[in-house]
Amino acid sequence: MVEQEIERKIEDFKSLGIPEYIPREGRLQLVDNMVSTVIGARRAGKSFRVLQTADEMIRQKVVRSIHQVCLMDFDNPVLSNMKALDLPLIQNTFLKLNPEFELNTPLLFILDEIHKIPGWEEYVIDLSRNPNWKVIVTGSSSKLLRSDIATELRGKAISSTVYPLSFSEFLKFKDFRYKTSSTKGRAEARRMFDEYMKWGAYPAIANLEEYTKEALLREYFDTMILKDIIQRYDVSKPKQCIHLYNYLLSNISKAHTLQSAFQYLKQGGFSTSRDAVRGYIDWAQDSWLLFMVPIYSNSLKEQERNYKKIYAIDWALANKNSLIWDGSYSRALENMVFVHLYQRWHRVQYYLTRKKRQEVDFIAVDSHGHPVTALQVCIDISQGDTVKRELEAIVTTAKYFGIKENLIVTYNQEKDFHEQGVSVKAIPAWKWMLNPA
């Protein structure tokens, strides 16, 4: 039965071909004799991103046609029950159906959700040893996380991460055809940005009817919790786990401590421990649901002493699954800016000035550990006291670290400031995301 199912999947893909797709930005890492793993948030578009890569390889004649692509999806009632020893049936069946292929024929193997098969790692490593074959493994974050790759594949894999849509990708999905240098283009970009801020960055959300978007965001949350956390970690108290995540999503861009999360559950009548709460939070981070961002410091002790700030993989997912939300988008804007920075810099952390302990929302750090950007997020800078507070913190930080790029990202205001020899640019979020410095 397994071999027949493999044959069916091979023939179906050959007949149906690569579906239409909207190209995503960036390239996937492909290295000879290494497994390419594609990781990231559930529903971020990993499967379509891999098919885009297959299409690009065909166009570049790395492989001659779709007939040289073997796509196998293990989210299947038959294939998901395979044993590791049966996995070689994949290439054996593929070669049997294509007798003109030799071992030196360039082939691409795409193995989606193969992590469902215990012992799959040795198989994909062995498959990648053929220098003429490329192997791409994708999977939900419940099984194919960065830490898993490092331990399971023992340096034989190279990772690429797929995030939900950037704002520029979102405009492509919305078929945006204007030039933002024109008055009409700027107005339309702002309208698109309002939609992006309200409904988030998941690819499937972009062109849905509005009345279905909230339901889908709730479904995404439920699926992530169930499959990526409760089932994966065999959570014994799922109700308190879910209750904690609803609470954390209600506090995106706010300060977080383990003690505050523990006290919240205790006050809610849950019997728990700090170790259990720590586990819930670690699992949420492993599953790309939440990010816990520490203070910028080279001292681990200082990072542990200070609070962390909470961000979600998608701000709309957070808002629509929060226990409390006031309808304001100020914290969504900060979350959006974090995700944008996180994709582009080695580290993104917040900072507290040394004397007054004033918070700078983000410090972007390069691969050498040097702070290169200081950034505040402020939805409205029309109030003098607000601007003074934001500027004082960022100017103090810029002078201390010698940072040249200093920004205040706003909803729709733009202005240049010069304080104590430091230049700070206030820029609308939509413009900054389309034209990063």
Instruction: Answer whether residue 361 is part of any domain.
Output: yes
Strand 308-312 relative to strand 255-256: parallel, antiparallel, unpaired? Answer: antiparallel
Exposure string of 253-267, with b = 16+ CB inside 10 Å and e = fewer, is beebebeebbebbee
* Pair (60, 133) in one structural domain: yes
> Do residues 425 and 376 make contact, with C-beta atoms less than 8 angstroms apart?
no
Domain membership of residue 345 (yes or no) is: yes
Cβ–Cβ under 8 Å, residues 262 and 274: yes
Per-residue pLDDT of 51-80, as tens digits, reads 999 999 999 999 999 999 999 998 888 898
Residues 332, 322, single domain; the answer is: no
How far is Cα 150 from Cα 168, in angstroms, rounded to an integer? 31
* Same domain, residue pair 246 and 98: no
Phi, psi of 50 (to 5 degrees): -70, -40
Are 206 and 174 spatial neighbours (Cβ–Cβ below 8 Å)? yes
Identify whether 68 is part of a domain. Answer: yes
Residues 110 and 65 in one domain: yes
What pLDDT, on the 0 to 100 scale, is given for residue 141?
54
- The predicted model scores a pTM of 0.92
Residue 142: predicted pLDDT: 45
Q: Does residue 301 sit within a domain?
A: no
- Distance, in Å, from the CA atom of 78 to the CA atom of 286, rounded to the nearest integer, reads 28
Q: Is 332 in contact with 315 (CB distance < 8 Å)?
A: yes
Full DSSP string of 343-378: TTSSEEEEEE-TTT-PEEEEEEE-TTS-EEEEEEE-
Q: Which pLDDT value is given to residue 346?
A: 83
pLDDT at 148: 58
Answer yes or no: do 148 and 20 share one domain.
yes
Which CATH number do you get for residue 356? 3.40.1350
In a domain, 401, yes or no: yes
CA 153/CA 124 separation, integer angstroms: 9
User: For strand 35-40 and strand 133-138, is the pairing parallel, antiparallel, or unpaired?
Assistant: parallel
In a domain, 285, yes or no: yes
Could you tell me which of 192, 158, 197, 154 has the C-alpha nearest to residue 175?
192
Same domain for 50 and 146: yes
Residue 257 counted as domain residue: yes
Per-residue pLDDT, 405 = 97
pLDDT tens across 297-335, in order?
Answer: 989 999 999 999 999 999 999 999 998 877 789 999 999
If we measure between CA atoms, which residue out of 87, 65, 68 comes closest to residue 6? Answer: 87
Q: Looking at residue 376, what is its pLDDT? A: 98
> What gap in Å lies between CA 347 and CA 365, rounded to an integer?
5
Same domain? For 186 and 86 the reply is no
Same domain flag for 152 and 185: no
Regarding whether 141 and 8 lie in a shared domain, the answer is yes
Same domain, 200 and 243: no
- Residue 147, pLDDT score: 57
In a domain, 304, yes or no: no
Could you list the residue range(s) of the whole structural domain that residue 28 is in?
A: 2-162
| 225 touches 307 (CB < 8 A) | no
What is the edge-to-edge ordering of all strands in the sheet holding 347-352?
347-352, 359-365, 371-377, 405-410, 422-428, 415-419
Number of domains in the chain: 4
Q: How far apart are CA 182 and CA 79, in angstroms?
A: 53
Residues 365 and 274 in one domain: no
Q: Which residues of the chain, if any, have pLDDT below 50?
A: 142, 437
Phi, psi of 384 (to 5 degrees): -60, -40
d(CA 426, CA 375): 10
Report whether 313 contacts 339 (CB < 8 A).
yes
358 and 432 both lie in a single domain: yes
What are the distances in angstroms from CA 34 to CA 103, 146, 161, 162? 17, 16, 16, 19
d(CA 116, CA 172): 34
